Structure 1
């Protein structure tokens, strides 16, 4: 077993990396600590131990057992207590999930603070099989059935292909002390029911077959297929997704580009793109191409919104678009969505007028401070006793309901609308220069 782990670390070129070992005091983690002490320079090893304040009768035993080994081997030892039960009640989640969230957050923070390459966990083959069954009984897909990976961005699980029996045999042979967590024998959690009842019964009934090995091979195959599908999806995603550098939206997809991919199940590709944003109902993507412009779907947590906008599918944050900026004097200003604007007086004698690029306003009619805000339904101004409704101009120019939300207006100090500042040029002609007065030049870099 020692040789297996050494070969793994050699193969992955990890022997000289820095590791944070998550050690609970159970047999798996104590064997993990023993093997890493034997294989690595102790300066490259640190240990993190959690106290979840659940099984208080065992707290001191676990702490003392781990601390003594770390002290003897001059290994950095981190210890943290958590109010797990209080956290689980607050978040309305199980104690097991609460403990998982708390410890992983702490581990990641330690990794970042002390520049560890990997957090090392003692999950073994039996844990992987249990996870396979847990996800099988839940609403999951290939992602869940592929179970636990050996290596990921932050995590290393060197025991993932080693059975629990092999770990226990190693511990006995090498006289390693460990403490059993009695909560592992209480069949009140789904994992414990699978571990203590379902898997033993399967092994008993199907004793002629090498069940654990076969399930593990299935998991390995599922991981290979998942990686292939993931890479394929990423290939197609790169062809159709547009990200907005001005932060008006998170991403958008041109529907004609999606259809030009000529792949079956466009809805599934959309589902995989938007799943991480909380859109986990594939029925949404059966409808998205058929709904009218302006219609939308909210994510499960209502944080995000998918909007159909003509030939586009757009993902935005589900927030009210309210923006107000005070312009106290002449000068350059950077406003929302990285729009840059400039107000300055110009010399009439040296000016070549470019009415397509710039807006020229009569300085005598401009009264600072000015204001910039987003367009609102009902906005208008009066010119020659005629009411000019801005939304009517939007409709004539086929500005979509989505784009309207990101059009901004310049207002005089009396809050009268002067002009739009992006997307479409709409000007209140009361403020245009007559070339006989000082002129304020306004131009937009967007």
Structure 2
């Protein structure tokens, strides 16, 4: 690899980060060696740029010293600087997340607001090769799957990282050579943080075993990235041909999934964007041929093992459980039109599941529309005896999700209609019917 200099970084920006010399860049500058070197390199290359510095208010006077160093450097070199102070601790407590995660969310949200306001083409960060190796080990112990083992990407969306081919020591040497002042964050030495433990305890042991450890790991990460891209291609093919995504619901056919020789890895990649971790996915796989109705949860979604499919749905709060409808147009949880008219001589029954006709004189308005509950029973059209609604759902092969979404229309204590399905035989239109109650579910 070519020595770290403005020419080599420009090549990385063009070849690996898809950045052109005409792009306007926002440089994330913490005050550490990596970001100060990055700012110097980009400025040397003549990019139109601005710097962005976040004071996370975590290290008292040290944080203020970082901010002052960045401010002085930008003023001396006539570089536009955007600054913000963030109450990271309060945000972490409010969101119930770690300080590290809170700082990440806050800074990238702020970077995005600057991009939106000033039309920068990309945010450039000073992540380097050692960061990528540490991320590999961090994800290895967390069990993040193949995607987490390929290190940090040179470009992800509008975030670019042109220093990933270089070591921390090379970057510090560059700063010394060009007399660039930088700050040392003492919190990076505290091994109570997992990343620091990897950096200061684990990596040095591996470097003592293999003096070319950095180069070896760079090669390993490149191979893993190739494997990740191949898996990504397989996932895209499966999702595009076999998975159905409709009405905020993902339907994964179990039989199609099992046609793939390594379907466990495939399923993990399909479910990963919905927050399911490897241990939950292993549980799902162990129940592929179990009883229907088994549920699995991530923080944002749930997965239901149905008869032939895996259903992935958002975790939702319980919504409206009942409402009343009158004659006319009813705008509520469901859009329903109710109309009463004299039965014509040429009356034709509706054969559409969302449009029904009832004997108006057998029904008392207003009608109650509610969720079904255990013990509900009705007389399905064509039958002369009662059937539990739960048994009707089984006969009609309702999935667990279908059951949860089912609504009943009720007159007094009697069920008139299982919406989208069957009316009650007692309320049907007969030769004696004089007035028609027409109900349309829109």
Provide the TM-score with structure 1 as the length reference: 0.83
In the TM superposition, what is the alpha-carbon distance from 1:258 to its structure 2 partner?
A: 2.9
In the TM superposition, what is the alpha-carbon distance from 1:76 to its structure 2 partner?
A: 4.3
**Change beyond 3 A, Cα 1:76–1:324:** farther
Retained in 1: the 8 A contact 2:143–2:278?
A: no
Output the CA distance in 1 between the equivalents of 2:384 and 2:141. Answer: 70
- Equivalent of residue 133 in structure 2, options 108, 129, 148: 129
Task: Write out per-residue CA displacement over residues 65-123 of structure 1, whole angstroms, 9 at most, x where no aligned residue.
Answer: 22234445565433222333444456665543443343233334443454433221100
**Change beyond 3 A, Cα 1:70–1:354:** farther
Retained in 2: the 8 A contact 1:49–1:63?
A: yes
- Show the counterpart of 1:343: 338
**Change beyond 3 A, Cα 1:185–1:311:** closer
- Show the counterpart of 1:203: 207
- Equivalent of residue 378 in structure 1, options 375, 379, 385: 375
Per mean C-alpha deviation after superposition, the further-off stretch among 107-116 and 137-146 is 107-116
- Show the counterpart of 2:166: 162
RMSD (Å), alpha carbons? 3.2
Output the CA distance in 2 between the equivalents of 1:22 and 1:332. Answer: 54
| 1:268-283 alignment, distance < 5 Å | 268-277=265-274, 278-281=276-279, 282-283=281-282
SS in 2 for 1:289: coil
In the TM superposition, what is the alpha-carbon distance from 1:58 to its structure 2 partner?
A: 1.9
Please list every run of 5 or more consecutive structure 2 residues that lacks an aligned counterpart in the other structure. none
In the TM superposition, what is the alpha-carbon distance from 1:193 to its structure 2 partner?
A: 3.1
Task: Write out per-residue CA displacement over residues 180-230 of structure 1, whole angstroms, 9 at most, x where no aligned residue.
Answer: 2222333333333333344344434534xx221121111111111111111
- Show the counterpart of 1:307: 304
- Show the counterpart of 2:419: 421
Retained in 2: the 8 A contact 1:270–1:285?
A: no
Note if 1:238 corresponds to 2:240. Answer: yes
Output the CA distance in 2 between the equivalents of 1:242 and 1:428. Answer: 36
Please list every run of 5 or more consecutive structure 1 residues that lacks an aligned counterpart in the other structure. none
SS in 2 for 1:405: helix
Note if 1:326 corresponds to 2:330. Answer: no
Task: Write out per-residue CA displacement over residues 238-288 of structure 1, whole angstroms, 9 at most, x where no aligned residue.
Answer: 22211223x4xx2112223334x3x21333322332233324214313322
Retained in 2: the 8 A contact 1:321–1:374?
A: no
- Show the counterpart of 2:287: 288
SS in 2 for 1:24: coil
- Show the counterpart of 1:362: 359
Retained in 2: the 8 A contact 1:418–1:431?
A: no
Output the CA distance in 1 between the equivalents of 2:324 and 2:20. Answer: 56
Retained in 2: the 8 A contact 1:362–1:440?
A: yes
Note if 1:66 corresponds to 2:70. Answer: yes
**Change beyond 3 A, Cα 1:298–1:36:** same
Retained in 2: the 8 A contact 1:362–1:434?
A: no
- Show the counterpart of 2:36: 30
Aligned length: 429
**Change beyond 3 A, Cα 1:137–1:317:** closer
Note if 1:257 corresponds to 2:252. Answer: no
- Show the counterpart of 2:348: 353
Retained in 2: the 8 A contact 1:417–1:428?
A: no
Provide the TM-score with structure 2 as the length reference: 0.84
- Show the counterpart of 2:225: 223
**Change beyond 3 A, Cα 1:432–1:17:** farther
SS in 1 for 2:390: helix
**Change beyond 3 A, Cα 1:266–1:27:** closer
Output the CA distance in 2 between the equivalents of 1:382 and 1:219. Answer: 65
**Change beyond 3 A, Cα 1:435–1:48:** farther
- Show the counterpart of 2:177: 173
